[in-house]
Structure 1
Amino acid sequence: MNRIGIIGVGEIGRAMVDGLCDGVQEPPEIHLSPRGARTAAELSERYPNVRVCADNQEVADRGELVILAVRPQDRAEALGGLQVGGDKVVLSVMAGVGIDELRDLLGTTAPVVRAIPLPAVRERRCVTVTFPAHPVVDAFFDGLGGSLPVADEASFGVFSTLTGTLSAHYAYLATLTAWAARQGIPAEAADRYVRSLFQAVGRALDDETRSPAQLAGDHETVGGSNERIRTTWFDAANAESLTKALDALLADLT
């Protein structure tokens, strides 16, 4: 679609605009809501194809694909009373808000699709989970790194739960850096090394011929340092604790 409207210009909204526009020869026409006014103004100044609308209704009127990117707790205030024509496609990136609820809130007959885009869409390298499959939405995310349609909303909830583990990964890296600093390593050197160490891990994940379990095995030797940390820290109790946390989050999201 050539006209895209985005209601809610937070981190994900900004990332999608960057991915659609940065270095692109013929970017689409993008209409932003005044929510997140500073970010919206910044994006409209950076990209000539981006403009800020007077209100959310103007975004919905101008966009052929209408993206709902407000915080879930703000949905009633931001979307209540919004009129979305049946000729549009609605794309929601709000976590934990089901399709039936969105239909009731908007009172629309337009197709409604959910998605889980991550900030890496700005680099057009991020696979985005969608439900249900829709040619317009899948083509949209194919241009931002790839789409992964799933069969039902229950499966979508599982992928949404997996997304909730990202900040824990960063906190793990921060813990490693802090530990090294307590051993007398300069904080800058510790930070630089930990970043380099796990950037290499990210590159190894590009090898899709090996599963994560195989990669774990390939990075340790019997009786070696990696095996020791895996078996003494990430033991059965630790894995069970993580599983219970994931189960609880999935229950909340669905």
Structure 2
Amino acid sequence: MDLSSVSEELAEIDGQISEILRSLSNGFQKLQKIKDANRQSRQLEELTEKMRECKRLIKEFDREVKDVESRNRPDVNRMLNEKKQSMIKELNSYVALKKQYASSLENKQRADLYEGPGEENVLLASSMTNQELMDHGNRMMDETDQAIERSKQIVEQTIGVGTETAAALKAQTEQMSRIVNELDSINFSIKKASKLVKEIGRQVATDRCIVTMLFLIVMGVVAIIVVKIVNPNNKDIQDIPGLAPPALRRKLLWNED
């Protein structure tokens, strides 16, 4: 059945899963031909990464199946679930193969660790004398002690690196905390400054209104003064205190001859 007729998303995910499963099949066939332990380890890492990606895609496939389940016929949903189970079964078979190869590789590496380095001619225990057996055992013990000592050094170095990393992370965390606090202070200062600017703007606007009104009053007074000076007999303009012309003296009746 063509999955594109059910969902384009399902068809795309199915194609990606099929491609990864083919890659896993070819990868394990290639792994069987590899003899070097380091190359086997790298190949297993690549295959493990592909299996993780395949597992993620199968989960996406399952979610998409559940999303379109209500729109499909029962036989279509059954087919999709069977396909999902088939994918899971095939992936699990590769997971089992990976575990087998990993166990075999680990045993081989453990055997190489305890094997005497640089010994080309190994004497059989049956042909060794007691002294040779003791010497050989002592050499193996010394080599084992050296390997353990190297492992201890690696562990100590790892602990040291971990301690330094933890200290660096702690310092970075404290620095980030200080930066956040400084940003909060800056934000508060910006808000306060913005509020102050608004208040100043309102005050300036008020002052401008007052200055404008005073200017208009002064101009009105000046205009009245000018008119009064030019035409002092103009009755439409009331006298301004201090600027009115002197009143004529009234003559008393008894002063008239």
Q: 1 or 2, which has the higher helix percentage?
A: 2
Q: Choose 1 or 2 for highest CA Rg.
A: 2
TM-score range, shorter chain: under 0.3
Q: 1 or 2, which has the higher strand percentage?
A: 1
TM score, norm. by length of structure 1:
0.23
TM score, norm. by length of structure 2:
0.23
